[in-house]
């Protein structure tokens, strides 16, 4: 709903005339540019000791190429602002901003699982309740009027998402090209099941590793899981991950390797779409599937690097200076209250025997 409001404001600001379409585009570019500025600033403010990492967001090839394809930067900006507010321990503002982000785009909903599992590990139940309560209130403030006044229009997105089949960029389309077609009804159940399994594995890992992971690490992993199993991967979806990737593992080399795969996919999707009208000029379906596989491999590789930092925090660049979770807000330096780690066996102290002592 919030994205629709964003588009409506752009339409109101667009003057009527022969250049209406061009004006509408230009106004949207300006407004989306403001959203990008918010996302970059929020990323810089989330980890105060490393504000320069935000340059990775501003200069990311994915942002340059896909920033104006759709209105996803609105949700990205709100999510980044929520992360920044969380880092400053403004729980209600953080929850409200994430609620607005979910009202703009559905993907931030999985970040709730990241916050929940880390609050569980640190025993921050009351704080999580305050945060999630603000999230629900903000989401309802945007959506409730439409639910009441136009329920059919409001629910269209959810009905469309439930009935759509495999689409561009998804692993399911690549499998279909290879001859492994999954029916729409089965696909919905399979996608839901795989997402639940992947998120559950991330949460299990968060509770088992020796040191509590940073919030950005878990947030990146759950959003990446959503992207990997989703029925569609539009080129602009890379924007969802970029600020989270920068916060999760701010290493230029790893970031640019991942972005190289995403850039290749960006070229491939448009080349493939040309072929739908002119097969002689477009990318063949088989090569497009290779590009999809590359995009998935790049995302999974970056996720592996994040998981490795969680298992061995010594390799985490954010913790290299001895910090715990500078973007974690109430979680920073919080002691563990609940984990699934096996307790270490306690060895009995060795007892030295005095050989000079006589035996009775």
169-219 pLDDT, tens digit each:
999 999 999 998 888 788 999 999 999 999 999 999 999 999 999 999 999
- Percentage of residues in the chain with pLDDT exceeding 70? 95
**For position 352, what pLDDT does the model report?**
44
Q: pLDDT value at position 343?
A: 58
In-domain check, residue 179: yes
Which has more pLDDT, 292 or 159? Answer: 292
The span from the CA of 321 to the CA of 104, in Å, is 36
What is the value of pTM for the model shown?
Answer: 0.92
- Residue 354's pLDDT band (boundaries 50, 70, 90)? very low
Cβ-contact 121, 203 below 8 angstroms: no
77 lies in some domain: yes
Residue 347 lies in a domain: no
Are 91 and 330 in contact by the 8 Å Cβ rule? The answer is yes
For residue 351, the model assigns a pLDDT of: 44
Nearest-angstrom CA–CA distance, 185 and 108:
25
DSSP 3-state of 192: helix
3-state secondary structure of 353: coil
39: in domain:
yes
Task: Note whether 30 and 24 are within 8 A (CB).
Answer: no
344 pLDDT band (50/70/90 cuts)? low
CA distance 50 to 186: 45
The domain tally of the chain equals 1
Kindly tell me if the per-residue pLDDT of 342 is higher than 60: yes
Rg, Å, the chain Cα set = 24
First-to-last alpha carbon distance for the chain, in angstroms, is 88
Residue 348 confidence (pLDDT): 45
For residue 246, what pLDDT is reported? 98
Query: Looking at the predicted structure, is the pLDDT value of residue 269 above 60?
Result: yes
What are the pLDDT digits (tens) for 21-57? 999 999 999 999 999 999 999 999 999 999 999 999 9
Q: What is the pLDDT of residues 314-326, one digit of tens each?
A: 999 999 999 999 9
- Please state, in angstroms and as integers, the Cα–Cα distance from residue 117 to each residue in 114, 120, 129, 224, following that order: 6, 5, 13, 17
Here the tokens at position 156 are 């269209």
Range of the domain at 315: 2-154+161-331
Taking residues 60-68, report their average pLDDT.
97
Q: Is residue 208 part of a domain?
A: yes
């Amino acid at each position: 709903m919030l994205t629709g409001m964003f588009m409506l404001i752009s339409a109101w600001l667009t003057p009527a005339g022969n250049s209406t379409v061009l004006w509408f585009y230009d106004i949207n570019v300006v407004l989306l540019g403001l959203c990008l500025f918010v996302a970059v600033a929020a990323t810089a403010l989330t980890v105060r000791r490393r504000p320069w990492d935000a340059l990775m967001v501003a200069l990311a090839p994915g942002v340059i190429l896909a920033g104006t394809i759709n209105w996803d930067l609105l949700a990205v900006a709100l999510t980044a602002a929520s992360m920044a507010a969380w880092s400053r321990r403004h729980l209600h503002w953080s929850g409200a901003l994430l609620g607005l982000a979910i009202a703009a785009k559905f993907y931030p909903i999985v970040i709730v699982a990241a916050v929940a599992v880390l609050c569980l590990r640190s025993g921050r139940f009351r704080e999580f309740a305050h945060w999630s309560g603000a999230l629900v209130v903000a989401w309802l403030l945007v959506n409730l009027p439409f639910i009441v006044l136009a329920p059919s229009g409001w629910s269209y997105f959810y009905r469309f998402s439930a009935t759509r089949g495999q689409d561009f960029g998804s692993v399911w389309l690549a499998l279909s090209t290879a001859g492994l077609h999954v029916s729409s009804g089965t696909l919905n159940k399979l996608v839901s099941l795989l997402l639940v399994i992947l998120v559950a594995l991330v949460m299990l890992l968060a509770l088992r590793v020796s040191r509590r992971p940073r919030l950005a690490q878990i947030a990146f992993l759950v959003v990446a899981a959503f992207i990997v199993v989703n029925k569609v991967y539009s080129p602009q979806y890379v924007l969802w991950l970029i600020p989270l990737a920068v916060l999760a593992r701010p290493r230029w080399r790893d970031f640019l390797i991942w972005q190289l795969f995403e850039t290749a996919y960006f070229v491939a999707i448009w080349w493939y779409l040309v072929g739908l009208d002119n097969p002689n000029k477009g990318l063949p379906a088989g090569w497009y599937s290779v590009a999809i596989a590359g995009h998935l491999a790049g995302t999974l590789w970056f996720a592996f690097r994040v998981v490795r930092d969680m298992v061995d925090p010594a390799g985490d660049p954010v913790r290299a200076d001895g910090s715990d979770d500078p973007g974690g807000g109430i979680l920073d330096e919080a002691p563990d209250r609940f984990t699934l780690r096996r307790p270490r066996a306690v060895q009995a102290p060795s007892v030295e025997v005095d050989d000079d002592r006589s035996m009775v």
